[in-house]
Amino acid sequence: MELQQEVEQFLYRQSELLDTKQWQAWIDLFADDGVYWMPADPAHKHWDGVPSIFAEDKNLMAVRMKRVLHPDAWSQRPLWGTNHVVSNTIIESYDSSEVIVRSRFHMMELRRDDVRHFAGAYRHHLRKTAEGYRIKLQRVDMTNAQAAYDYVLQVWV
Amino acid sequence: MLQERVPDLSRRLSDFVEPDRVRREVYTDPAIFELEMQRIHERVWIYCGHESQVPKTGDYYAVQIGRQPMVMVRGADGKVNVLYNRCPHRGNLMVGDRQGSSGEFFRCSYHAWTFHHDGRLRSIPMMESGYAGTPYGKDHPDCSMKRAARVENYRGFVFASLSPEGPSLKEFLGEARVAFDDMCDRAPQGEVEVVPNCFRVIQKSNWKIFLENQLDALHPSVTHQSTGRAAHEVEKEIEKKTGHAPLSYHMLSAFATVTIDKWDNFQTLNYPHGHCILTGYMGLRPKDPDTLAYEKTLVDAYGHKRMEEILGVNIHHVLIYPGLSVQSPLQQLRAVRPLGVDRTLTEIWHFRLKGAPEAIYRRSLAYYNLVNSPATLVNADDLENFWKCHQGLSSEGGDWVSFARHFGRDIQNGERVETAANCGTSEAPMRNQMKAWARYMAAQ
């Protein structure tokens, strides 16, 4: 139960960093070789070599963050905000150094006058370090992504 | 007094287009949109898909041409057919999914009429008793699925025209054929195959706004500056740490390093059917080991001289009016499917060069993900501009859209209109597209 609570707290903190737009702190949750991956196809098993909505190492995350913070990122000018709810946390496996945990998310996004909803599943591959958990791989299967994209995603979900 | 807001359609269509400007209703009037679908999209050659999307007999892909739901399907004879996605009996869609396999034949989900993959009726339940004494049956044309009037394939790329008349596909493409030649020639085996994932992105704007943007050389350094600068910063950091940054950073940083004044150095070539070519700027032939290994596969296949010719083709985009934008050196294309006057679907595909090393595929895959996915670092700002453009054009703040940049300096070279030296940001591609538009729209 202690492990369950630990990883839940980690997932809650991660989504709070997104909702409060603390991009660098969010990136810092990843291990140096960590990858954030949103597959284009739920059948894909590995991010390498297949089309992906996101397949980002920390360098690409830095590009995304710097871009979003640039005053001329036109698509980011209008007011926008998000609210994540993370739940249904299931520990898939664990040992002394790593934990694999699945969860479900629901994100409400406000952009200009429009409210949109995004939902799906996370699968976090977490590594235990002296500073706490670090993400080796976060897989995001967003259900919306199976239909035509009537939106753009400018930061991570 | 209240203003009359109903568009003035008593105006002749030719009054909407002048050589260097266009009236705003061309983008916003639903009646003009319907006419465009009839007179342009449902007449000219429209890209349906690549034959590798339907490799086996019975494999199908649904595709929209103008207002018509169509289905591209592989027949038992190996040919790719394009049919109206409609059962001739009661009008049911024959396939409801976007893609799949129909097996040996199509079978309607409503009353089990079945059809061969070329559209011919195969069977009707209890046909003899049910239709005795009527003219209906296998030989009656109203009992078969309707076929697209014309279907042609150029190097694996399948096009259909819903009009029995008009130029052949080859004539229609003209010099814009280079889009497919350049893409396929870069493969050591001379052909490409589709990567089986399609990014389908909806734009909240008229379809022509996207096409005009494709060869608009003035916009990149303005629209995409934020990404160019961010990528350039990180590229420098990686180079400092490891000595070498992946090519994908260069593709993004080019938006910032090619400053606004340099874009006039490029050139656009414009053709009578509305097609245009924008010459390249990204410098996609570095001297790294992956590129050299790839060059060797081309030399083995074609010899050194031909390899140099193939890799010497310098293209950024080829626009095939009215519905396709091809980026041949990176093996990707965007097919434009207008959904409504203010809504446009783009289907974005990536292709693999048959026989080329895996690293070359991965390099263009990075571009496909970063530029064309819904998490795009690039198109997001285009989509924002397209939406804003459409909103502004819907207002009464002005009647005209200006395409006057470098107007009067274009060079007519036979059928081709070339931008003059140092006029790469010319709005010649927009003028050329609207000239073709006016010609198509005037044909009854």
- pLDDT tens-digit series, residues B230-252: 999 999 999 999 988 988 898 89
- Give the mean model confidence (pLDDT) for residues B345-369: 96
Residue B387 pLDDT grade (very low, low, confident, very high; cuts 50, 70, 90) = very high
**Which phi-psi region, left, alpha or beta, contains residue B379 (left: φ > 0; alpha: ψ -120 to 50)?**
alpha
The yes-or-no verdict on residue B2 having pLDDT over 50 is no
Residue B260 has pLDDT above 90, yes or no: no
Q: Are strands B315-320 and B276-279 parallel, antiparallel or unpaired?
A: antiparallel
Backbone angles phi, psi at A16, to 5 degrees: -65, -35
Q: Residue A109 pairs with which residues in a beta bridge?
A: A82, A116
DSSP state letter for B177 = G
Please measure the distance between the N-terminal and C-terminal CA atoms of chain A and give it in whole angstroms.
Answer: 27
Percent of chain B with pLDDT over 70: 97
The closest of A7, A37, A31, A61 to A127, measured between CA atoms, is: A31
For B97, B139, B140, B295, B313, the CA distances from B300, given in Å and listed in that order, are: 43, 53, 55, 9, 19
Using the structure block, give the residue that is written with the tokens 């076929």. Answer: B147
List the structure tokens of A136: 């080796």
Question: Closest to A51 (Cβ–Cβ): which among B195, B233, B385?
Answer: B195
pLDDT averaged over chain B?
93
**Across B40-59, average pLDDT:** 98
Mutate to test the interface with A, among B373, B379, B387 (most CBs of A within 10 A): B373
Nearest to B378 by CA among B218, B212, B253: B253
Cα B39 to chain centroid, rounded: 18
Q: Amino acid letter at B40?
A: I
Q: How far apart are CA A69 and CA B237, in angstroms?
A: 18
- What pLDDT is attached to residue B257? 84
Write the CB contacts of B234 (distance below 8 Å, at least 6 apart in sequence): A59, A60, A62, A63, A66, B245, B249
pLDDT of residue B281: 66
Residue B259 has pLDDT above 90, yes or no: no
- Which member of B200, B233, B385 has the closest CB to residue A149? B200
Name B269's bridge partners.
B277, B418
pTM for this model (two decimals): 0.94
Which residues lie across from B416 on neighbouring strands? B413
Question: ipTM of the predicted structure?
Answer: 0.93
Tokens of B372: 């064309």
Task: List the single residue in B252, B365, B384 with the smallest CB-CB distance to A74.
Answer: B384
pLDDT value of residue B444: 74
Q: If pLDDT is split at 50, 70 and 90, which confidence band does A71 have?
A: confident
Asked whether residue B322 carries a pLDDT value surpassing 80, the answer given is yes
Top residue of A53, A63, A156 to mutate, by most chain B CBs within 10 Å, is: A63
Joined together, the tokens standing for residue A14 give 């991660």
Q: How confident is the model at residue B3 (pLDDT cuts 50, 70, 90)?
A: very low
Q: What angle do CA B219, B220, B223 make, to 5 degrees?
A: 75
d(CA B169, CA B44): 9
pLDDT of residue A48 exceeding 50, the answer is yes
Closest CA–CA distance from residue B121 to any residue of chain A (Å): 33
Residues 6+ apart with CB under 8 A from B287: none
